[in-house]
């Protein structure tokens, strides 16, 4: 069971939320507001991916900034087959096309961070956080993202309440939320 739970966490491996060491890397660059400012070829995008109460490979994703789009994300292997272990790539299927990001490093850090679960044994609940770079897979874009390139700095946060008496993240959970978020520098192509 622990493997499928950790696999689900990896899928949503795009991820947010306050890892002190990555706070500066996750912050958007400062900009001056200007009505006449022309868009640049490379710009900042923010990604949020989330799932609740699921051990599956699919999640919901939204991108804002340089890429304003939304849709589903699926954990896959490089050959396009499903990756239930979430050890390789996350395919973003958006309304105007698709592209992939590499999530293996983020997943590995999340699995390692889960060694500290639970944060509160009395309530059988805790939060686990990990951060890593998630480069866009070269040549993976379709539609409006055919020539997309760049990389995201993502943080994955898992909040979970487990079913007693097993409170170490390996048993059944009562409730779980997985959020992956962060900024990236992307070139739409």
CA distances from 85 to 8, 23, 62, 161 (A): 7, 27, 22, 21
Q: Is the pLDDT of residue 96 over 90?
A: yes
CA distance 99 to 4: 25
CA distance 12 to 92: 11
What is d(CA 18, CA 20) in angstroms, rounded to the nearest whole number?
6
Lowest mean pLDDT: which of 40-54, 127-141, 171-185? 40-54
Q: What percent of the chain has pLDDT over 90?
A: 57
Q: Which residues contact 125 (CB under 8 A, 6 or more apart)?
A: 118, 119, 159, 160, 161, 162
Look up the pTM and report it: 0.77
Comparing C-alpha atoms, which of 150, 154, 147, 141 is closest to residue 186?
A: 150
Mean pLDDT of 122-140: 95
DSSP at 10: H
Average pLDDT, the chain: 80
Token digits of residue 189: 């192509």
Mean pLDDT confidence for 51-76: 91
Map residue 80 onto helix, strand or coil: coil
Give dist(CA 99, CA 37) in Å, integer.
27
Count of alpha carbons within 13 Å of 187, Cβ hemisphere only?
A: 9
The pLDDT of residue 85 is 82
Q: Residue 152: pLDDT above 50?
A: yes
Count the Cβ atoms, other than its own, within 10 Å of residue 139: 11
pLDDT of 100 strictly over 80: yes
10-31 pLDDT, tens per residue? Answer: 333 333 322 233 333 344 444 4
Give the separation between CA 15 and CA 132, rounded to whole angstroms. 9
Look at residue 167 in the predicted model and tell me its pLDDT: 83
């Amino acid at each position: 069971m622990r493997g499928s739970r950790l696999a689900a966490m990896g899928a949503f491996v795009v991820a947010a939320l306050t890892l002190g060491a990555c706070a500066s890397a996750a912050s958007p660059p400062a900009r001056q507001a200007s009505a006449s400012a022309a868009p640049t070829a490379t710009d900042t995008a923010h990604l949020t991916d989330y799932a609740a109460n699921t051990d599956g490979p699919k999640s919901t994703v939204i991108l804002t900034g340089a890429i304003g789009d939304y849709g589903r994300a699926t954990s896959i292997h490089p050959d396009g087959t499903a990756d239930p272990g979430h050890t390789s790539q996350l395919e973003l299927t958006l309304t105007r096309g698709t592209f992939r990001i590499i999530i293996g490093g983020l997943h590995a850090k999340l699995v390692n961070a889960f060694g500290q679960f639970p944060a509160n044994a009395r309530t059988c609940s805790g939060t686990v956080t990990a951060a890593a770079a998630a480069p866009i897979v070269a040549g993976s874009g379709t539609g409006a993202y055919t020539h997309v390139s760049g990389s995201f700095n993502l943080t994955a946060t898992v909040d979970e309440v487990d079913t007693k008496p097993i409170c170490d993240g390996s048993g059944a959970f009562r409730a779980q939320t997985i959020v992956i978020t962060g900024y990236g520098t992307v070139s739409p192509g």
